[in-house]
Amino acid sequence: MQYSGFVNQKPFSKFTSDYKLNNIEYDKRHLWHPYTSATQPLPCYEVIGANGVELTLADSQVLIDGMSSWWAAIHGYNHPHLNQAAKTQIDAFSHVMFGGITHEPAIRLTKQLLSMVPDGLNRVFLADSGSVSVEVAIKMALQYFACQGQPNKHKIITPRNGYHGDTFAAMSVCDPINGMHSLFKNVLAEQIFAPAPQTRFEQTWNEDDITPLADLIAAHHNELAALILEPIVQGAGGMRMYHPMYLKRARQLCDEYNILLIVDEIATGFGRTGKLFACEHASISPDIICLGKALTGGYMTMAATICTEDVAMGICQSAPGVFMHGPTYMANPLACAVASASLDIIATGEWQQQVETIETWIHQYLTPCADLAAVADIRILGAIGVVETKVSVDVAAIQAKFVESGVWIRPFGKLVYIMPPFICSEAHIKQLCEAIYSALDE
C-alpha cells in the first residue's frame, strides 16, 4: 500500500477557536508539562532548533543548554553519528515487537553494554524509560526471592533523599517526606528508609555514617529483598554527593545478609561523575543496575535493567518460570540503533578528558557563588555543578533571568544546578556559571 498523503480533516468544533492561538498560548491551555500546575502553569519557551550545546527559541534567541535535556544529551544535539544511525535504522524498520522476535540493533547494543558495565552483570532487559527500569529492577528482586522460597523477603530498603522515578514502585523508594510523592503515601508499598549518607565525597570517611543502615538491615534482613540507591550522587532528591566508602559498605552489608544491591545509575551512568559508572568510585559491582537518560545520547526514551546470571536464573527456576514483564516498545530497534551509536562515542574514551576538564571549569567559575548571601552550599563532581540556596527559588522569575543571560538552566526547590553536555567549551561553562551568579546575586 502506498501512502498518498494525509487526510484533510477539519478540527473538532469545540477546539476551532483554540487553533487560532499561537503555540505558547495553545500549549498553556492544553499541554501538561512535568511537575507543573494546570491552573497556574510555569512559563514555557518554544524551541525550534538544537545544535551542539545550543537551543534556538522561536524568537531566534540562542541559549546554551546547561541541563543536557535533563542529563541525557551528553554528546550535544544534532550529532552526525547519532543522526545517521537513526536515519539508517528508520529506513530498515522503526519497530517490531520483541516477543518471539529479535533484531541486530538489540543484540549489538547488548554486546556493547555488557562490555562496559561492572563485572558480573550479564542479562539485559531493555525497557522504555528510567522509571520503568526501576520498576523492573524491584520486580526482579521480589520475584527472585519468591522463587527461592522466601516470599517473606518482599521489602526494599533505601537511603532518604533518594529519587528513582514517578511510577508506583519507583515512588515507593523515593524519600517519603522530602520527596515529591507524599500525597500517595497511603497507596504505595511501605518500604524501609535509612538516614541519608552524611560524609561528603571529598571528606574523610566516617565509619559511623554506615551504622544506621547497618542497624536497619540487621533488624529487617529477613523481610528485605534489596537495597536500592543512587551511587555517589543523589539526583532529584537533593543533588547530594556522598563518600564512596558508604557504597562499598553497603555492598558488604548486602552480601552479609543475602540482600540484592540495586544501583540506580540512570542519572550518573555514562561518565557524568568522572567514572563511566558512579559505582566504580567504590570499586563495587551491583546485582542489578538501572540505566537510562544518556543511554541514547538524549535522542529518545530508552532504558536498561541489567542483572547478574544468578539473579536471572534464580527468577526462572520455579513457577511461573519466566520474568513477568514485557513493555510494548521493549528493545525498540530505532532506540537501540541510536543507543548503540551513542555508546560508540563513549567507547572512544574522549568523555574522560571532557568531563575532567569541565569539572575544573565548574570549580573555577561556580565557586564564587559561595560568597553570595543567598547561597547555602556548593557541590561539584565531574560534569555536575550544584548551588544550594537558603530558600527555594522562584522558578519562573529565575528562569526568565537565565534566558535573558542566554542560558537554559532549570532549577527546582533550593537547587540551581548544571549538568552540561560533555562537548561544552570553557566559554560555555563560564557563561552558565556567571548566569547563576548574576541571578542569585540579585
Q: Of 77, 163, 242, 365, which is the active-site residue?
A: 163
* Cα–chain center distance at 268: 7
Q: What is the C-alpha to C-alpha distance for residues 265 and 275, in angstroms, rounded to an integer?
A: 11
The question of whether 163 is a catalytic residue gets the answer: yes
Q: What is the C-alpha to C-alpha distance for residues 348 and 333, in angstroms, rounded to an integer?
A: 23
Q: Of 35, 87, 111, 394, which is the active-site residue?
A: 35
Residues making up the chain, counted from first to last: 442
The question of whether 28 is a catalytic residue gets the answer: no
Q: Taking each helix axis from N to C terminus, what angle separates 104-116 and 333-347, rounded to the nearest 10 degrees?
A: 40
Q: Of 153, 275, 293, 414, which is the active-site residue?
A: 293
The question of whether 35 is a catalytic residue gets the answer: yes
Where residue 349 falls (left for φ over 0; alpha for ψ -120 to 50; beta otherwise) is left
The question of whether 26 is a catalytic residue gets the answer: no
Q: Say if residues 254 and 277 touch (Cβ distance below 8 Å).
A: no
All cell numbers assigned to 62: 540562542
Q: Of 65, 128, 166, 264, which is the active-site residue?
A: 264
Q: What is the C-alpha to C-alpha distance for residues 146 and 125, in angstroms, rounded to an integer?
A: 20
Measured over the CA atoms of residue 26, residue 407, residue 372 and residue 203, the dihedral's sign is positive
**DSSP assignment of 406-430:** TEE---BTTEEEE---TT--HHHHH
**DSSP assignment of 187-241:** TSPP-EEEPPP-SBTTSPP-GGGGHHHHHHHHHHGGGEEEEEE-SSEE-TTT-EE
Please list the active-site residues: 35, 163, 264, 293
